Amino acid sequence: MKLFKHARDNNYAIPAVNCTSSSSINALLESAREANSPVIVQFSQGGCHFLAGKGINNPKDTQDAAVAGAIAGAHHVRIMAKHYGVPVVLHSDHCSKKLLGWFEGMVRADEAYYAIHGEPLFSSHMIDLSEEDLKENVEVCVKYFKRLAKINCFLEMELGITGGEEDGVDNSGVDSTKFYTQPDEVHYVYKSLRAISPMFSIAAAFGNVHGVYKPGNVQLRPEILGNAQAYIKKAENLSEEKPAFFVFHGGSGSEKDKIELSLTLGVVKMNIDTDTQWAYWDGVRQFEAKNREFLQGQIGNSKGADKPNKKFYDPRAWIRKGEQALIARVQEAYRDLNSINRLAVASKL
């Protein structure tokens, strides 16, 4: 809460990167250490299932494998963050109505962890019922937020639809008018959740799209966020210029000027997935292209028919190249979000 308030008041945001393995988690923590700033490690339902292992059955109702992967990933982050020396917000990403079994499992794990340690296992969770009507969306959020508030866990909710496709959620055919949230809708959410706790953020749609797109194909309108802030301030008779915490979804490929403007309007978190996926793969791709002759067999290359190639096909060699490329891409995100060296002012958080 203090971190997000400091970010909102000082016009910067924290990058939130989807992780699917210990490799991507460690690379993200390393990038945060290099930037000397906090980071948000987040897991999608699909990412959690992958963390657990695709060989484990994942029933649609209870989402056992995804829950197990989320818990395993959370404990890995908690252990390794201490060694990297960076503060981490541990977050679960989009949870649609059909995935509420996964959400329920994580909240139960949070409650059990809180009973022992006095804090939840995760820092925050996201409920994404943007495909449902507004009333149901808010009712479900309120229901779970009452539980989260008791254990000091933050809630992110989605309002309006983020276009494109990510992790099996495909909104590419949705009416584009739903990509832009109205101020009165944001106020309705704010008022409903603020009555329970101030520990929440709103992923309000302002033209956001998941995935990759050509410049000009998506019309981002971050001024929508400013209009919503003004509406809330007036309706609630508040002194704060930016009473709400906003989240920028679909950050990959977004125009730099739109990102910069959004930071002045209350965005405290920006999601990045597609660009970091590509960066990781590109690091591996370049390694393979450079060392192709050493990756065609266990023995034999231009240096001799009996020369071993183990140091090239050892997964640690090419995985590390993927990690380094991801680290570099996240550094770019830190710069875009005005978030470099924020631990230098840690005493103010």
**What are the catalytic residues?**
93
Buried-state track 239-256, b at ≥16 Cβ within 10 A, e below 16? eeebbbbbbbbbbbbbee
d(CA 289, CA 58): 37
289 burial level (CB within 10 Å; 0-12, 13-18, 19+) = exposed
Give the β-pairing of 165-166 and 154-159: unpaired
Amino acid found at 161? I
Amino acid found at 97? K
d(CA 118, CA 292): 52
Q: Which residues contact 316 (CB under 8 A, 6 or more apart)?
A: none
User: Residues 1, 139, 234, CA angle at the centre, nearest 5°?
Assistant: 60
